[in-house]
Amino acid sequence: MIQPLAYIHPQARIADNVTIEPFVTIHKDVEIGEGTWVGSNATIMDGARIGKNCRIFPGAVISAPPPQDLKYRGEPSTVTIGDNTTIRECVTLNRGTALDKNTTTIGSNCLLMAYVHVAHDCVIGDNVIIANSVQLAGHINVYDYAFIGGTSAVHQFVEIGAHSMISGGSLVRKDVPPYTKAGREPLSYIGINSVGLRRRGFSAATINEIQEIYRIIFLRKYNVTKAMDIIEAEFAPTVERDEIINFVSNSQRGIMKGFGI
C-alpha cells in the first residue's frame, strides 16, 4: 500500500506488501524488502538497503549524503538494515565512507529507539537494542544482543561486545567486553549480564565460568597480559572463554576498567 501523497522515485526497488504512508520521501537508489512499513515523513535516501518486515517510524532519516565525516568525497556508499528491525522516530543512520567499510550495517531483529544516531561505518549486530537518544560516533562495532541504555554517547572506534549491557547516560570511551555490565563514571565493570544470559539459555555453569574469568580480569588487579595468561592456563577452551580472550587481547582502545581501579 503506497499513499499517493508519498514521493517515491520511479527507479526505487520496492518489494511486494510494503506500506508507505503519506509524506514519505524515497530516493532513486533504494531497496526495501517485502512486508516493511514506512511511517509518515520518513526520508530514505540513495544507498539505503532495507530488509523484510522492518518498521520505520516518522521522522527517521536513512542514508543521507553526506555522512557527518569531512573526509567523505561523494563516493557511492550504503546503509544496510536487516530483517525485522524497528527504527523509531527521528533516528538518523549515516551511510558509510570509502576510507573504511563503505557501508553502515544494522543487523536483523534490532530495535533502535527514538532519536538514536548511528554514524558512518558502524556495524550493529543482530538482536541489538539501542535505547532513546543514544549517539554512536563513526567506526563503532556493536555485537549481537548488546544493550545500550538511553542518552549514552559512544566514542568512535569503540567495540561493544556481545550480550553486554551499558547503563543509561554512560560515556563510553573504552571497549566493553562481551557478557559484561558497564556503568558509573568513568565507565567501569559492574558485573556480568547474568539476567540477559539466563534469558538467552546460558547454563548456570557457563554463567559462573564467565563470572570467574572476569574476576581475574577486573578484580584481581592483574595487567591484561597476565590476566590472559592465567585464564588460558586455568580454564579449558570454550566458546565463551575464547570470545573473551580474543576480544580483550585484540582491543585497540583498551577495555574499560574495574570499578575503583
Q: What is the pLDDT at residue 124? A: 98
The rounded distance, in Å, linking the Cα atoms of 192 and 215 is 10
Q: How far is CA 158 from CA 61, 72, 139, 142, 172, in A?
A: 24, 21, 8, 8, 8
Going by pLDDT thresholds of 50, 70 and 90, the confidence category of residue 217 is: very high
Has 175 been annotated as catalytic? Answer: no
Write down the catalytic residue from 117, 120, 139, 163. 120
Write down the catalytic residue from 39, 51, 107, 138. 138
Given a contact cutoff of 8 angstroms between Cβ atoms, the answer to whether 189 and 182 are in contact is yes
136 versus 74: the higher-pLDDT residue is: 136
User: At residue 175, does pLDDT exceed 60?
Assistant: yes
The rounded distance, in Å, linking the Cα atoms of 176 and 63 is 27
Given a contact cutoff of 8 angstroms between Cβ atoms, the answer to whether 131 and 105 are in contact is no
Cell digits for 97? 565512507
The rounded distance, in Å, linking the Cα atoms of 124 and 139 is 10
Residue pLDDT, tens place only, 194-205 = 999 999 999 999
Residue pLDDT, tens place only, 96-110 = 999 899 999 999 999
CA 240 to chain CA mean position, Å: 20
Has 107 been annotated as catalytic? Answer: no
Q: Which contiguous run of DSSP H or E holds residue 257?
A: strand 257-258
Write down the catalytic residue from 121, 125, 149, 161. 121
User: At residue 261, does pLDDT exceed 70?
Assistant: no
Q: What is the pLDDT at residue 260? A: 55
Cell digits for 41? 515523513
In eight-state DSSP terms, residue 226 is H
Going by pLDDT thresholds of 50, 70 and 90, the confidence category of residue 169 is: very high
Has 120 been annotated as catalytic? Answer: yes
- What is the pTM (predicted TM-score) of this model? 0.96
Residue pLDDT, tens place only, 25-69 = 999 999 999 999 999 999 999 999 999 999 999 999 999 999 999
In eight-state DSSP terms, residue 208 is H
